[in-house]
Chain A
């Protein structure tokens, strides 16, 4: 195994060996993994993939590890749910939910990227893993790192929801709560990463880590019967997931796993933090950093690292972007729950609410086979919808009391 040639600067094209590095020394552009696609094409057929266990490593030739994977052996291959009821309400014929609310083991798509990052960190010989996180990544590095026997340093904004903090602490990492927002945490972590020889999954391991997001795209295409959708709506924080889903479709086309690629890629953001969508709507590729103010904390990156590349993918594919208010996010979370029985975190609300706007605006057409990427579980951000749901019916422990309530319910 091992189809990785090396690393290459996305800006100036300078090449580097496979190392825990992430910035071009010459022009400061980000580095990306380069594969031998001809070699992969020879060994990776649909039948071979289909014969493998249902986890993200069934596409291992397209992931940047040299040996066998050591992390996240049960992660990925989440359901692609055909959402017929929701499709009728939002006005498209064929709608699917890529349901990463049930990713093993920490219920968000971050288990995909961490599986790859920690397998790579092991290959590099690191004994400590670390991350800067808005929550979901913290959970995933804490959990996978515990199972894999790494020391763990997790940096989070101190303002995170309590439930998200507890969901990291249970795995007993070193949890560092920083006074500041995600961008402040990220800046600090760059300094820490320069000083300590740790595997920071989203800093010095980033070129490898980010590749894990491609597995969501591979799965969507495989689950659709080896074809790419007409439209895919992707929540955008750093913009990385969106660029990697596009990359996954292009790779599948290149190595012959899908025949054609006509997918339009759409970016979804919260209005309170929409630097990428703002650039898309303005038709520019310069990202103006913002100070985030939204309930969608998992998307609250004001200065998105892959923002430029995300706008380029949207343009190249003929897609667009939409942004939605906090109330629209909450309404969409509830809509997804009551129609399809899926409880998404705030980012999922952003995706569905944006998709509704994109359909209304005519950017997504009625006969487009559309996939919504729902990336995290609602049980993680219960605070966001507290007071926005109905109330239980309170009764005495006897039949009479119950039947009084039942009468009221039936009269509704």
Chain B
């Protein structure tokens, strides 16, 4: 069993269209770095210099990690991670 990670629509292009991927137990930041190995480019969209980006919310079992231990929050197998942009999607004129 691994950690389940839900990927928001704007980032699914980087996960070959997958809505959910599997990650490794450990800290949130190590999980993100490991995912970046598998899905290059994912890491820099979610974090910068080892810190979560301000307008990306990360939830562990529906709890915002900002109220846990931020990027150092420990996740274990079976946990569910959601990555959610704080402001949902933009609109383009021609969209």
Contact = CB atoms under 8 A, between A and B. Distances in A.
Interface of A: 11-12, 19-30, 124, 187, 190-191, 193-194, 197, 203-204, 286, 288, 305, 308
Q: Contact residue range for chain B?
A: 10 to 19
A24 B44 CA distance: 14
Given A23-B85, A28-B53, A30-B87, 13 more contacts: A11-B54, A20-B92, A22-B87, A23-B87, A23-B89, A23-B90, A27-B53, A28-B86, A124-B93, A190-B89, A194-B88, A194-B91, A204-B90
A21 B88 contact: no
B73 to A, nearest CB: 14
A28 B89 CA distance: 8
Given A25-B10, A29-B54, A19 B92 contact: yes
A190 B54 CA distance: 19
A193 B95 CA distance: 11
Interface string B50-79: 000111100000000011000000000000
B51 to A, nearest CB: 12
A193 B88 CA distance: 10
Contact of A28 (B66, B67, B87): B87
Name A's interface SS.
loop
Given A286-B66, A288-B67, A25 B90 contact: yes
Contacts of B48: 12, 27
Contacts of B56: 27-28
Contacts of A24: 55
Contact of A19 (B45, B66, B86, B93): B93
Contacts of A204: 90-91
A286 B45 CA distance: 20
A190 B55 CA distance: 15
Contacts of A203: 91
B90 A22 contact: yes
A288 B57 CA distance: 12
Nearest to B54: A11
Contact of B91 (A21, A26, A29): A21
Interface in B10-58: 10, 45, 48, 53-56
B36 to A, nearest CB: 15
Nearest to A29: B55
Nearest to A203: B91
A124 B53 CA distance: 31
Contact of B85 (A28, A187, A194): A28
A126 to B, nearest CB: 9
A12 B53 CA distance: 10
A20 B91 contact: yes
Contacts of B87: 22-23, 28, 30, 190, 305
Find the residue from B53, B66, B67 having the highest chain A CB count within 10 A: B53
Contacts of B92: 19-21
A280 to B, nearest CB: 17
A184 B93 CA distance: 25
Contacts of A23: 55, 85, 87-90
B23 to A, nearest CB: 20
A24 B45 CA distance: 11
15 contacts: A11-B53, A11-B54, A19-B92, A20-B91, A22-B91, A23-B90, A25-B90, A28-B55, A28-B56, A28-B85, A30-B55, A190-B88, A190-B89, A194-B89, A305-B87
Nearest to A194: B89
B28 to A, nearest CB: 15
Find the residue from B66, B86, B89, B91 having the highest chain A CB count within 10 A: B91
B20 to A, nearest CB: 19
B91 A193 contact: yes
A194 B91 CA distance: 6
Nearest to A199: B91
Contacts of B66: 286, 288
